[in-house]
Amino acid sequence: MVTNIPTKEKQEIKNEISYKIQRLVINEVKPVDNAIPEVNYSPVFNGEHLKNEIHLFFENHINNIIMNKKTRNGRFKNDVSTILNSIEHLLSLKNNPIPNDSEEIPETLSEDEKLFYYHSKKVTDQLAKSINKNVKKPFLLVILHFNHEVYGEIIAIIKMERIFGVQFSRQELHVQIDMLPDKERDLQKCTIIFKNKLINLPVNSNFRENNNQNDHHTKILDRQDLAISQYFMTSFLDNIIITLDKENTQLATQFITSELEKYVSEGCTKKNIKDYIDNKMQERTHTSIETIVEDLINNTNFVNRDTIQIANQDSESLSALIYSQMLNANPSAQQTFTADPNYIEKKVIKDIKSSGKELKISIAQTIINKGVVKYDYKDDEELNSEEWMKIAISKAIIDDDDNDDDEE
């Protein structure tokens, strides 16, 4: 297998380095229709025998994964999961001997290498069993034990596609079809597991008592699915994504709607409740479960207050129940959050001639509702309202800094 090493004209590669890659395997997984994928297992590569450029190649990938703005924090949700057990052995947090009845392991490996081979094989097999039927193409699964200068010991698991390349040698061109991608966009799914995080935050099957958004074991990037594929996150990694405002908004909307549906007023439906919540979320203000529940009970006709009283409930008890349901769905859910809806209703104004290429103005409907933007308003100024559309914007909400140096 050939690695595609980018040329770093301005980056000096030192002749002497501490070996960042400790051990590495690159296994090939070949999906099979209606069956568990076939796997070709690679030998264990020892970091001290790899060229400096290869250490740098994988270090760049790891840094890009950690720093990518789409990367999400995750936590293991089960302290007895198969994947966690293998990860802990790969990081020397556990040191149980390899079972005697385990499948054949190359005898040429050292004892440490045998342990890495066995548990990296377990990790690969777990992914092979987890992938869904939509995964058709063969892919490479890179598993490496890496010493990071900032984050310490980590395990990186990177799902890659082979790429096509051309190698120039002695005035000849050779086709290479098994190169590893050097571009971040060619990575499919990746996770970084931090040894110090597993030590400082032991995995617990119920982490409700410590669900701070900064407390995580893993960083997960899915370049094919922003929400992160369920087979990769749940079936394979046994992780839960630490919720941010967007996830809290979705969870709150889902469970407030489903719980208050039990008390919906005659002539109203679940949709009335959800639409009202969605509209409130458009304001993107800091809110809470109880604030939304109180608003629906006290300020709308969608919920029957008498039915709530007969059930011996109120906004406080309903909010507590809804939050408990959110925690069951994701133990990192928060009671308070800043609303961050998936969709923002907008008023879009486009020119007729080029259909928005020459003129396109987009205004969130919420700020029109608040009155800080006046859209198509009429007054007695010199512009004829039959010929002109007028838009007024409150200076309080805009940044009119002429010295904006941001570049696209």
- Residue 9: strand, helix, or coil: coil
Nearest to 86 by CA among 45, 22, 154, 95: 95
Note the pLDDT tens digit of each residue in 396-408. Answer: 877 655 554 444 3
Q: What is the pLDDT of residue 4?
A: 46
Question: Greater confidence, 3 or 217?
Answer: 217
Q: How far apart are CA 401 and CA 396, in angstroms?
A: 13
> How would residue 93 be classed by pLDDT, with cut points 50, 70 and 90?
very high
Q: How far apart are CA 311 and CA 296, in angstroms?
A: 17
* Residue 177: both structure tokens together: 């079809």
pTM attached to this predicted model: 0.70
* Alpha carbon 290 to chain centroid, angstroms: 27
Q: How far apart are CA 84 and CA 78, in angstroms?
A: 8
Q: Which secondary structure element, helix H or strand E, spans residue 22, and what is its range?
A: strand 21-32
Q: What is the pLDDT of residue 212?
A: 60
Q: Is residue 118 over pLDDT 90?
A: yes
Longest dimension (CA), the chain: 91
- Residue 153: strand, helix, or coil: strand
Highest mean pLDDT among 88-102, 213-227, 302-316: 302-316
* Alpha carbon 8 to chain centroid, angstroms: 30
10 Å CB burial of residue 99 (0-12, 13-18, 19+) is exposed
Nearest to 334 by CA among 205, 242, 259, 204: 242
Give buried/exposed letters for 392-406 (b at 16+ CB in 10 A, else e). eeeeeeeeeeeeeee
Averaged pLDDT of the chain = 82
CA angle 281, 342, 135 (to 5 degrees): 150
Within 8 A by CB and 6+ apart from 266, the residues are 304
Note the pLDDT tens digit of each residue in 133-173. Answer: 778 888 889 999 999 999 999 999 999 877 655 555 665 65
Note the pLDDT tens digit of each residue in 42-53. Answer: 999 999 999 888
